[in-house]
Structure 1
């Protein structure tokens, strides 16, 4: 089946401009929000402006909720959920858009700073599935927080602002790379060699200089204390992420694409969030669920395996005067979900890993992956046919361009999302997102029109009764 290229719907003029304007706002968002903390911070600000109230505030004041209320949950600053309460009782279920806001990166270890041959470096541990060789010789920025013993939290963002220095990981020069080039790609760069160079000037001469063993490291600590008021011990309670430095950019002569860091999965999180901002007086409660830790298995207190979302639903039921353990289970079981996560775009440079009839293409709109997993669909949520048929009707009625895809040829590999975790509650769930080139690379690429079709598709889904 040959699907229509979505750009044909927006040939020129105002409609084309709507696509470009939405994409430009997104480009600015992913340029500014490169960590899960930064995403939550920005989304909370926008949610408050749109009239969303914090759930904990409503709990503390014992405020009874009603249809039309807009409520958000900020979970540890790294995950969140937004609700627009529907006319139907909550136990009738919810329409949920679920995405993740973490991306592959390099995390600093707890004891990262050291000196070697009068160069100061930071030791890292990579996060998520990365090709390690892609992360060398890139300009990197450092984003994150230092949590101090007195309870204060110091925010760090260095490498992305005009005039900032950048950092990076060196690679072996081609002239001495004979042995390195014989290695398999997975071994070309060892994980323990992803250390970031941050400085080379020693501390100034003083009468105590001979007592300082690592003078360049000491100078780095002097700068950190002067700039941020932090000490070496504060690294023990820090979360600092090394990410590609620089803003997302328009890609191509026609500016039809965006190259940026973190499209997986902020290219789905952003239209999901924008879709719920547009919701007013839904029949079924609308939800935008944005979680952390998907890239490492959705584990931990801020990942989808935690119970923060289920607990939030229980609190909402309590505020509506309808709480019971059974009503929580019904609310979860009766829900429908689009697991808003990216899919692999067909790459003409690597046709051997794709099966053309069942691949996602740039310009063909929102992507449905009925199943993911690997090889024999292992670890997959395999959506049922009836749910897929219902979604086809919703999107066709809304004139949203969509396509279906698998994640590469059978036995080539595979992947997963948060879909199977939500399906454990008995929800109807399917993966639905945007096609991405260079997935998990420092710089990924998406089509602007696919982003816009995802936004329209998510809106149509939330409105469905």
Structure 2
């Protein structure tokens, strides 16, 4: 299975951040990583470990000869993607149709979610205190488009009034419907984080299969590449290596949560790892000062139909290789030192490097990079792989970029 096929497998297995963590955890266990409960004592022996908290996963590998004050090589990404999520009170009945109230999460391209067959997935908390992953691969929901005959002017979608889905012509509590298919009673649900997802599988597309069309490429493409990179680094058998992969939740809504990039989670993992190795508080600070992080998030390829929306000196090509992202107002964390480190990694991996700058007259998006850098004090560089249709229900990238992206991240982790 090549890198593009691994990405397709990852995305199709991961309709939510919780499933993305479960998918990553399964692959980590297969590579010899052991899960740690953060409420337990931290592992004191070198080895490979990971924790999961909600939709966030942190994995780390410590070589047997790594001193307590050794720096960490970190690759970061995020597990969440814009979508439509279930409101707390969601059951409705309008025009003899059962409706389900949905709320946009992040900044989805709303038009792309209309007229899709939508499944439902996420997690539920039951009355007995247990939490269950839920995935229903059935077309339970659809957000219908208004016919052109009733909307000749193409009015803008209202996030409050125009995004409720229809679930059929039978008036039933939607949680009962989901529970019947997922093996729980709707009345036993005391909490939930449920979201819709497009049921169409990911695919290689284009006349020669050069493209990958899939939901959630932003940013599961980086999650998959980061996994490839971490496992490559572990396989390099550097006895003094300290490698970390962090897949944060909630990037699309600002990262401010107990498991987002603006939380102390990553710093806590690094500090506990140093202290468990017999290090002091001063060793923690030495390790942080010697660490570097690559923040991976997808990048805008130059749109073939609207190239004027892009900075004219910084064209980005599908299939052109990884992208270094720079913004002078620090919407990206990259500075000259970080740029040099990633450029050297790409050169070492034998892959081309593209450089992205956003148009100065358009607002620039951001990533986990600036937030995590400010929280941890670690030198951070923002990178990505080129794609089109970012935040659409279905996005597209070049299959070749999946491989070169992973190789560049692996070279970054293992460089010294």
TM over 0.5: yes
Structure 2 gaps, min length 5: none
3-state secondary structure, aligned to 1:304: coil
Contact residue 272 and residue 458 of structure 1 kept, 8 A: yes
C-alpha contact (below 8 Å) 2:295/2:382 kept by paired residues: yes
Residues in 2 aligned to 1:221 and 1:238: alpha-carbon distance in whole angstroms: 10
1:460 aligned onto 2:411: yes
**Structure with the higher fraction of residues in helix conformation:** 1
Q: Equivalents in 2 of 1:464, 1:333: separation in Å?
A: 16
- In the TM superposition, what is the alpha-carbon distance from 1:461 to its structure 2 partner? 0.8
After TM superposition, the structure 1 = structure 2 runs for residues 379-418 of structure 1, keeping only pairs within 5 Å, are 379-407=330-358, 409-418=359-368
Q: Deviations over 1:230-254 (max 9, x none)?
A: 22572x5111111212111111011
Counterpart contact for 2:91–2:99, Cα < 8 Å? yes
The Cα shift of 1:401 comes to: 1.9
Relative to structure 1, the CA distance from residue 191 to residue 131 in structure 2 (aligned partners, 3 Å threshold; closer, same or farther) is farther
Report how far residue 107 of structure 1 moved: 0.9
Question: Which residue of 71, 77, 83 corresponds with 1:99?
Answer: 77
Structure 1 position 266, deviation (Å) = 0.7
| 1:208 corresponding residue in structure 2 | none
Counterpart of 2:317 (choices 358, 361, 366) is 361
Q: Any idea what the Cα deviations from partners look like across 1:400-443, whole Å, max 9, x if unmatched?
A: 22211123x21122100011123223322111111110000001
TM-score when scaled to structure 2? Answer: 0.92
Mapping 1:26-425, distance limit 5 Å: 26-56=7-37, 59-60=40-41, 63-66=43-46, 69-76=47-54, 78-86=55-63, 87-159=65-137, 164-178=138-152, 181=154, 183=155, 187-201=156-170, 216-217=171-172, 223-224=177-178, 226-227=180-181, 228-231=183-186, 234=189, 237-280=191-234, 281-282=237-238, 283-324=240-281, 326-371=282-327, 377-407=328-358, 409-424=359-374, 425=376
Partners in 2 of 1:427 and 1:221 — Cα distance?
Answer: 44
Alpha-carbon distance in structure 2 between the residues aligned to 1:99 and 1:405: 18
Question: Root-mean-square deviation (CA), in Å?
Answer: 2.1
Cα offset, 1:387, TM superposition: 3.0
In structure 1, list runs of 5 or more residues that go unmatched.
1-19, 202-215, 372-376
More strand by share: 2
- For residues 175 and 379 of structure 2, the distance between their equivalents in structure 1, rounded to whole angstroms, comes to 52
Distance in 1, Cα, partners of 2:160 & 2:272: 43
Q: Rg: which structure is higher?
A: 1
Pick closer, same or farther for the CA change 1:121–1:232 going to 2, 3 Å: farther
Q: Show CA shifts across 1:267-312 (max 9, x none).
A: 1111111111122333331111110000000111111111111111
CA–CA distance in structure 2, aligned partners of residues 394 and 171 of structure 1: 47
Structure 1 length as normaliser, TM-score? 0.83
Measured against aligned partners, the alpha-carbon deviations of 1:140-187 in whole angstroms (never above 9, x if no partner) come to: 11111221121133433223xxxx334210121111113x52x3xxx3
Q: Are the aligned partners of 1:381 and 1:423 in contact in 2 as well (CA < 8 Å)?
A: no
The offset of 1:321, in angstroms, is: 1.1
Distance 1:263 1:148 in 2: 31
